[in-house]
Chains A and B, each alone.
Chain A
Amino acid sequence: MSTKRTKGVTIVYPIVYGNTASLLPQKKVPDSDHTHKWTVTVKGINGQDLGHFIKKVTFKLHETYSNPQRVVEHPPFEITETGWGEFELSIKLQFIEGSEKPVTLYHNLRLHSYEDDGSISTSSKNKPVQSFQYDELVFTDPPETLYQVLTTQPIPTLPSKPSNSPYSLQAEQDELRKIDEAYRKVQEQMTLYKNRNDKITKELEEVKAELDRIKK
């Protein structure tokens, strides 16, 4: 029997997922396998844990790790490990309502800090490295259980200014601005090309007409 769905309702829950990494102090024998310590987490944007609607989270790590499938069944949904390499891992969220399909997030584990152009920075090895991604879970027509849970507990909202997390309304505005600027520029280019195309089409017609005339 299926749980009844709340039709016409959409609930958006913003989350943040990613990892922090710190360089382990090198002991006497440098162990190349464990140069960094890292933690992958899935949380709400203000650090809330998601246990009220997520049943369990399956972190799938690189196959070189033992038990690459790490299942976490209660908050905080995170995995801490040590390693030397960066890889892509998947984070599968399963909800308290079994009928809802689990969603998978993908994250590139970041251990080294990078310069802007993508090269690994050699300075400031002491600061921990962070790599997080904001995303939103969109629940469309959620089933009863989820609906109950999501409406009773407050849903975090983006703070207006960035505080300890970089995600804020202002950041959103910044991004929107950038996008709009880019869009405008694209439109400009488009008009340019359109004009050019008109000119070319006209010329083409003329040349074609002349060629026809000569042919006759």
Chain B
Amino acid sequence: LALIAAMTSNDVRDILELHSKHLNSTDNLTPSKKANKPEKEKKPDGIPRELFQLIGGPPPIAFVKPAFKAKPNLRKKAVHWEWQSFTNQGRGEDDQLTLHHWVKCTPTSESEDSGYWFAEYNKKIDILKYDDEEYEKYLTDKDWTKEETDYLFKLCDNYDLRFTVIHDRYEYKERSMEDLKDRYYSVCKKLLQVRPPEGSDKGALIAMNTYDKAKEEKRKKHMCALYLRSPEEIKEEEALLEEYERIEQNEKKFAKERENLLKLLSFQELAQPKRKKSLLSGPTTPTMEVGNSNFHTSTEIPKKNRRTSASSVGSAVIEVAQSPAEVHNAPITARKEKFPQGVVVRSSKIPLPKQTMILKVQKTLQEFGLGPRPSIPTETVCARWVDLQKAIQTLLDVKKAVEKADHELKAKKVLLQKIKQNGLGSASKSANSGDAGEKQSDVTASVSGDGGGGDESSVVPVSFLFKL
């Protein structure tokens, strides 16, 4: 950078306090040096040197030459203005009100021929007009006389269907704005229906002229109510809406979980009653077909002896077809085990539970004194093992779901209490303020206790509502 000053010999001398080299020079520094040395900008104290060198200090002030207003062009002659009278064609034909205004006299303008230039903004709506014949045929109404209908239509025409104005100026009978609108639109609709169709889409025109009086009245009532809510009411409504949304969102989740739960439970139920049947008959039970285990075909083994031990234990879902001794003595049978062709190791065929559940299932098995695998994996043992594993998994799932449902229930209960207490809180408050004295306060305490669920719910902070 140009701002870095070079260390010259004179500077060195200065520092070392030596005298100047040139003996015939004066003590002052020669001016020639100054020309080379650029001006050092004084850096402000606040910022480091490098930063200042980057930024370069404050920007130069832009100088704008003061521009004065242009001299008025006084060369030309003044334009001539004329005081003219005019009538407004937009006004009705009844009055011929003449007003005056200044008009510029330019050579091109024509005086008074084009008419009042604002008259074109007087747009009129062309409403349907009926004649007496049509009225007699289609438009009679028990509530409306022809006179009144004509009056209404005249007003509509005059005030360009601005019903607020029409309703205000209406001086016939006591009618609400909805009444007027209703009558007008129904007349128009009827006329459109009976008149021959024109080029444009008749259906659309009719649709535009349908007016549902009851709906409109209701809507306006709601609007009023909405507009007139107090701020507390507004807050309350918003809070409730939020709650509702949250509940809706969770609803689906909970409903699904509950369905799964019910399904699981119903499966278990299916297993139990069918037990008795399977011990007597041959076919496989439904639970057999559900699983993917390869051991379910053991039920198809023709029954010979029923092991009393199996029935006494009472929970065998699989029928013990033959005594294990017989099974082992006759391993060569036309069994329909669902193994693929080839050799398998029996214990390897036990299906493992889901990844997340493996540890929990193992722990549960431990509690029953069983290891992670059966110690003697024979056919029957493996089959029962698989069923046990499945049952344990189901149980764990059910447990989790029940806990969740329980939790949800508790939360909803608290919410209910809170709402109840808020609702009854004002009642108990007013009762309190009305009468001082112990008896009254006891009564109110009991009132709030009954309604609001006692002190417990009042301790629950409001924020809990929003944790659901």
Contacts and interface: CB of A to CB of B under 8 A. Distances in A.
B412 A208 contact: yes
Nearest to A156: B328
Contacts of B341: 5, 140-141
Contacts of A105: 345
Q: What interface size band does chain A fall in?
A: 35 or more
A204 interface: yes
B369 interface: yes
Interface stretch (A21-29, A58-66, A77-85, A183-191): A183-191
A186 B271 CA distance: 13
B257 to A, nearest CB: 11
A141 B340 CA distance: 9
B344 A157 contact: no
Nearest to B247: A211
Nearest to A208: B412
Given A183-B387, A210-B416, A10 B381 contact: no
Interface in B333-351: 333-337, 339-349
B165 to A, nearest CB: 39
A190 B406 contact: no
Given A105-B345, A187-B315, A193 B374 contact: no
Interface stretch (A32-40, A68-76, A165-173): A165-173
B328 A158 contact: yes
Contacts of B347: 133, 135-136
Interface string A191-206: 0011011001101100
Contacts of A9: 332-334
Tell me the interface secondary structure of chain A in the complex. helix
Nearest to B391: A186
Nearest to A174: B376
A193 B344 contact: no
Given A101-B342, A141-B341, A10 B412 contact: no
Contacts of A175: 374-376, 381
Interface residues of B, number: 72
Interface stretch (B37-45, B199-207, B392-400): B392-400
A176 B380 contact: yes
A158 B329 CA distance: 9
Contacts of B388: 179, 182-183, 186
Contacts of B379: 12, 136
Contacts of A100: 342-343
Residue with the highest number of chain A CB atoms closer than 10 Å, among B240, B333, B365, B391: B391
B412 A211 contact: yes
Contacts of B314: 180, 184
Given A10-B333, A180-B313, A211 B419 contact: yes
A99 to B, nearest CB: 9
B334 A172 contact: no
A135 B377 contact: yes
A176 B381 contact: yes
A149 interface: no
Given A103-B344, A135-B345, A138-B337, A190 B325 contact: no
B255 to A, nearest CB: 11
Contacts of A136: 345-347, 377-379
A183 B409 contact: no
A89 interface: no
Contacts of A183: 315, 317, 384, 387-388, 391
Residue with the highest number of chain B CB atoms closer than 10 Å, among A100, A167, A172, A196: A172
A112 to B, nearest CB: 18
Contacts of A8: 334, 336
A45 B419 CA distance: 72
Contacts of A52: none
B456 interface: no
A189 B380 contact: no
A172 B412 contact: no
Residue with the highest number of chain A CB atoms closer than 10 Å, among B344, B376, B385: B376
A11 interface: yes
Contacts of A193: 395, 398-399, 402
A160 interface: yes
A215 interface: yes
A150 B392 CA distance: 38
A140 B240 contact: no
Nearest to B336: A8
B429 interface: no
Contact of B377 (A134, A155, A180): A134
A95 B401 contact: no
Given A181-B368, A190-B394, 13 more contacts: A9-B334, A10-B331, A12-B346, A138-B337, A140-B341, A142-B343, A157-B328, A160-B325, A172-B378, A182-B370, A185-B368, A190-B395, A211-B419
13 contacts: A136-B345, A150-B332, A157-B328, A158-B328, A172-B376, A176-B381, A180-B313, A181-B368, A182-B369, A184-B314, A186-B388, A187-B391, A214-B416
Interface of A: 5, 8-14, 95, 100-101, 103-105, 133-142, 150-151, 155, 157-158, 160, 167, 169, 171-173, 175-187, 189-190, 193-194, 196-197, 200-201, 203-204, 207-208, 210-211, 214-215
